[in-house]
Amino acid sequence: MPPAEPTLIDRFQRRITYLRLSVTDRCDLRCAYCMPREMVFLPRKDLLTLDELHRLALAFIDRGVRAIRLTGGEPLVRRDVMDLVTALGRHVGQQLDELTLTTNGTHLADKADALASAGVRRVNVSLDTLDRVRFTELTGADRLGAVLDGIAAARDAGLEVKLNVVALRDESSEGRRELIEWAHGHGHSVTLIEVMPMGEVAAGRADQFVPLTEVRRELETRWTLTPSTHRTGGPARYWHIAETGGRIGFITPLSDNFCAGCNRLRVTATGQLHPCLGGTEAVDLRAALRSGGGDQALASALETAMRIKPERHRFAISQGFESGPARHMSVTGG
Ligand code: SAM
Ligand code: SF4
């Protein structure tokens, strides 16, 4: 079946063709920029069932969504996640251009073959350091080895692996370069992401945040970076590094706003649709699904989402001041 014409169009004429669907808020790591160590997770009964997740995904596909990214929390800790991947994977190459996953990689070694067989071609793995001590300090778990095994398994299964790296003020320039060099040496592109002030964490956001303009300048003291025309339809802007032969993306929500080109929606594991990652707007799709109102209730909830999608996010970080939603990234589905 060919892709459906996009019918989710907001007040600013932005067409929604991309969905981030969170399958759980739970995680086996506690990354310092994402959640506090004592994070309290939602009761399981509040989460959408597998059938509800599937129904929602199909409703978005019917309205012209061409790419779905499963996320969380850590999507691979949800026990039945592979059933969803298998069900949605059947649409890849038809209504869906791609089905992808953002994962911390700790369970990837077990799941890589099944993901590839189900139709996933690409995964984003979040990895901020290659230093085992630093990894353990940053995530609260000594799992660097599992992540590296996961990345190797994904590559062996034929999956393209892209690394997501959150740029942190206290990361050393050597550490950052080592990670980029390693990734490019193994054929993985790297995307650096600015820290966003989402929910409270132990550190102040101003202490974590470093603008990517500064990181790029730091990389340019050693390497030759040239702008690349490569685009993925997302917010990243890419550069090529001559010395490593690889590509690096920069996602700059704070230092360089990209909202005008936004084509995405996010749905949490409890079915809250957030039309903007950095906003407080929400529409309760779980209520619509469970209302007995069938497709009409869902259609009307999605129309509301299109009416309230804001023009741009309101993230801000400066010393002593931060502005962003109270919910953590792991709850929203990053
Ligand atoms: N657990 C999976 C993972 O880590 O890849 C998927 C969910 S995680 C919330 C999605 C992405 O959000 C990761 O790349 C993570 O590094 C990023 N992230 C989490 N909190 C963030 C924050 N406050 N600012 C910027 N990126 C953040
Ligand atoms: Fe877990 Fe991903 Fe958040 Fe890290 S960034 S704590 S892996 S959800």
Kindly state the tokens that stand for 89.
């994977």
Residues 6 or more apart whose CB falls under 8 angstroms from that of 88 comprise 54, 57, 68, 96, 99, 119
Q: What is the pLDDT of residue 258?
A: 79
The alpha carbons of the chain give a radius of gyration, in whole angstroms, of 19
User: Among candidates 65, 58, 68, which has minimal Cα distance to 5?
Assistant: 65
Q: What is the pLDDT of residue 68?
A: 98
> Does the beta carbon of 108 sit less than 6 angstroms from any atom of ligand 2?
no
In angstroms, what is the span from residue 91 Cα to ligand 1's centroid?
Answer: 26
- Displacement of CA 104 from its chain's centroid (Å): 11
* Segments of the chain assigned E as strands: 18-22, 67-71, 98-103, 122-126, 160-167, 189-194, 225-227, 237-241, 246-251, 264-267, 272-274, 283-284, 316-318, 321-323
Which string of DSSP letters, residue by residue, matches 213-256? HHHHHHHHTTS-EEE-----SSS-EEEEETTTTEEEEEE-TTTS
- Residue recorded with tokens 């360089």: 256
> Does the beta carbon of 60 sit less than 6 angstroms from any atom of ligand 1?
no
The whole-angstrom separation of Cα 259 and Cα 276 is 9
In angstroms, what is the span from residue 31 Cα to ligand 2's centroid?
Answer: 5
3-state secondary structure of 50: helix
Nearest ligand to the CA of 317 is: 1
Backbone angles phi, psi at 283, to 5 degrees: -130, 135
Give the neighbor-by-neighbor strand order of the sheet with 189-194: 225-227, 237-241, 246-251, 189-194, 160-167, 122-126, 98-103, 67-71, 18-22, 264-267, 272-274, 283-284
Q: What is the pLDDT of residue 234?
A: 84
Strand pairing of 264-267 and 272-274?
A: antiparallel
pLDDT, one tens digit per residue, over 89-102 is 999 999 999 999 99
| Cβ contact 317:205 at 8 Å | yes
Domain positions in the chain are 18-332
Q: What is the pLDDT of residue 331?
A: 85
User: Among candidates 149, 148, 157, which has minimal Cα distance to 119?
Assistant: 157
Nearest ligand to the CA of 210 is: 1
Q: Which amino acid is at 198?
A: M
Beta bridge partner(s), residue 107: none
Q: Which residues of the chain have pLDDT under 50?
A: none
> Does the beta carbon of 193 sit less than 6 angstroms from any atom of ligand 1?
yes
Kindly state the tokens that stand for 2.
């060919």
Q: What is the pLDDT of residue 316?
A: 81
| Cβ contact 95:4 at 8 Å | yes
Q: What is the pLDDT of residue 175?
A: 95
Backbone angles phi, psi at 55, to 5 degrees: -60, -45
pLDDT, one tens digit per residue, over 237-271 is 999 999 999 999 999 988 778 788 899 999 999 99
The protein residue whose alpha carbon is closest to atom 4 in ligand 2 is 31
> Does the beta carbon of 272 sit less than 6 angstroms from any atom of ligand 1?
no
Fold classified for 18-332? TIM Barrel (3.20.20)
Q: What is the pLDDT of residue 260?
A: 87
